[in-house]
A and B are shown apart, each in its own frame.
Chain A
Amino acid sequence: MASEIQLHQNEEFISELKECAKLLTEKLQGNQFEDASQLIHAMLESRDRHIFQSVGHLTRALHNAIVNFHVDADLTKEPPKVESSEIRDASNRLNYVIELTQKAAEKTMDMVDEAAPIAMNLGQEASVLRDQWARLKRREMTPDEFRVLYGRMDDFLAQMATGTEQLGRNLQEIILEQGFQDLTGQVLKRVIGLINEVEQDLVSLVRIAGQVEEITGLATGADKSEQEALIQKRKVEAEGPQINPSERADVVSGQDEVDDLLSSLGF
């Protein structure tokens, strides 16, 4: 691992510094100023060499990370033009998930919209016929009315046959449409794998960079007020659906809590 090589070189650099420092004290105490000056020069050189080496490691690690993600980019352009990369590929895959889920949702709603009036008409006709059937059983029906009922019953049975057939087809289509779950699941799993890889590579880059900063004294304190402004901004930034609302104190876990919060504000 690159960060382990870096760690080893840091240790060498430190022991070299310590060695020089010891010698430097000896020379100074012995009033050998010319030797002391040479030592200081050597220490500075060693520090510079160490920085160059560290930057080299960092560059190589960054390069490896880029190679790992199969980034094919034209770096001469400003901004660099990315032809293809795993990240680009992942974005395309995620867009495909959006597309697929949207299609499935729309198709399902189409099927329901188509089926709802059929079911409603059958239900209405059935209740009309039931009332008339009851009148027939109570012998309240004239022969003319019975003839109308007779015809209507015939129509209803035909409607019933085609209607239920259509309903069955639509229900079947709705089931088939749920196949998006399998397809999007596979795509999402691949993207999750990629994100984990990116994270690992980033963590190792940050580690190397941290070791370089520490040993060469390049680290600067982060701007505090800037960070605080960022935290403040995050509080009201849109986040989309909460995955684990019960694990976060700053998030409500349902409509009841929204209502409670609003009524506590005088709503």
Chain B
Amino acid sequence: MKILIVDDFSTMRRIIKNLLRDLGFSNTHEADDGVTALPMLRSGDFDFLVTDWNMPGMTGIDLLRAVRADEKLSALPVLMVTAEAKRDQIIEAAQAGVNGYVVKPFTAQALKEKIEKIFERVG
């Protein structure tokens, strides 16, 4: 299971990385915004994308749209982990095809639940 973590704060990337490792996923890679993430996704056969929303360069929601619009990547499961908490934003992410939405600050339990749920559904 190859996972890409996209967040502009290295601290948050590290926290998510550690939590994923505790859940048994140690093949994780990092990018600091959508602009760097997209080429990695296109060339790197990733199985799962965890992304923040608010990032300079290319935001997470734009990254999500780009992923869904890309023929090769359109089926990639995407989990949004973000501080953005407006109802309209959550609806927008859902409409853009997000597979899960976790608001920061989050617990290890919440992240685990959402990830398990996503894998259950996509098989």
Residues of A within 8 A of B (CB): 102, 105-106, 109, 113, 235-236, 238-242, 245, 250-255, 258, 261-262, 265, 267
Specify the chain A residue showing the minimal Cβ separation from B52: A238
Q: How far is the CA of A242 from the CA of B90 in the complex (A)?
A: 14
CB < 8 Å neighbour of B103 from A113, A235, A236, A252: A252
Q: How far is the CA of A267 from the CA of B54 in the complex (A)?
A: 23
Q: Are A252 and B9 in contact (CB under 8 A)?
A: no
Specify the chain A residue showing the minimal Cβ separation from B95: A265
The A-contacting residues of B in range 49-88, CB under 8 angstroms, are 53-54, 59, 61, 83-88
List of 6 A-B pairs having minimum Cβ-Cβ separation, nearest first = A238-B54, A241-B83, A105-B11, A235-B88, A252-B85, A242-B85
Residues of B within 8 A of A (CB): 9-11, 14-15, 18, 53-54, 59, 61, 83-92, 94, 101-104, 106-107, 110
Specify the chain B residue showing the minimal Cβ separation from A241: B83
Q: How far is the CA of A16 from the CA of B85 in the complex (A)?
A: 56
Residue among A113, A241, A250, A265 with the highest chain B CB neighbour number at 10 A: A241
**Residues on A with beta carbons closer than 8 Å to the beta carbon of B94:** 262, 265, 267
Residue among A245, A253, A255, A267 with the highest chain B CB neighbour number at 10 A: A255
Q: Are B54 and A265 in contact (CB under 8 A)?
A: no
Whole-angstrom distance from the CB of B87 to the nearest CB of chain A? 6
Specify the chain A residue showing the minimal Cβ separation from B14: A109
Given A105-B11, A255-B106, A267-B94, 16 more A-B residue pairs with CB atoms under 8 Å apart are A102-B10, A102-B11, A106-B10, A109-B18, A113-B18, A238-B89, A241-B104, A250-B87, A251-B87, A252-B87, A255-B102, A255-B110, A258-B90, A262-B101, A265-B91, A265-B94
Q: Are B14 and A245 in contact (CB under 8 A)?
A: no
Q: Are B11 and A252 in contact (CB under 8 A)?
A: no
Q: How far is the CA of A265 from the CA of B53 in the complex (A)?
A: 20
Whole-angstrom distance from the CB of B51 to the nearest CB of chain A? 13
Residue among B14, B61, B89 with the highest chain A CB neighbour number at 10 A: B89
Given contacts A252-B103, A255-B110, contact A262 B90 (CB under 8 A): yes
Whole-angstrom distance from the CB of B106 to the nearest CB of chain A? 7
CB < 8 Å neighbour of A238 from B18, B59, B103, B104: B59
List, sorted by A's number, 29 A–B pairs whose CB atoms are closer than 8 Å. Answer: A102-B9, A102-B10, A106-B11, A109-B14, A235-B88, A236-B61, A236-B88, A238-B53, A238-B54, A238-B84, A238-B89, A239-B54, A239-B86, A240-B54, A240-B84, A241-B85, A250-B86, A250-B87, A251-B85, A251-B87, A252-B86, A252-B90, A254-B103, A255-B106, A258-B85, A258-B102, A261-B90, A262-B101, A265-B91
Q: Are A261 and B83 in contact (CB under 8 A)?
A: no
Whole-angstrom distance from the CB of B53 to the nearest CB of chain A? 6
**Residues on A with beta carbons closer than 8 Å to the beta carbon of B83:** 240-242
**Residues on A with beta carbons closer than 8 Å to the beta carbon of B18:** 109, 113
Specify the chain A residue showing the minimal Cβ separation from B92: A236
**Residues on B with beta carbons closer than 8 Å to the beta carbon of A252:** 85-87, 90, 103
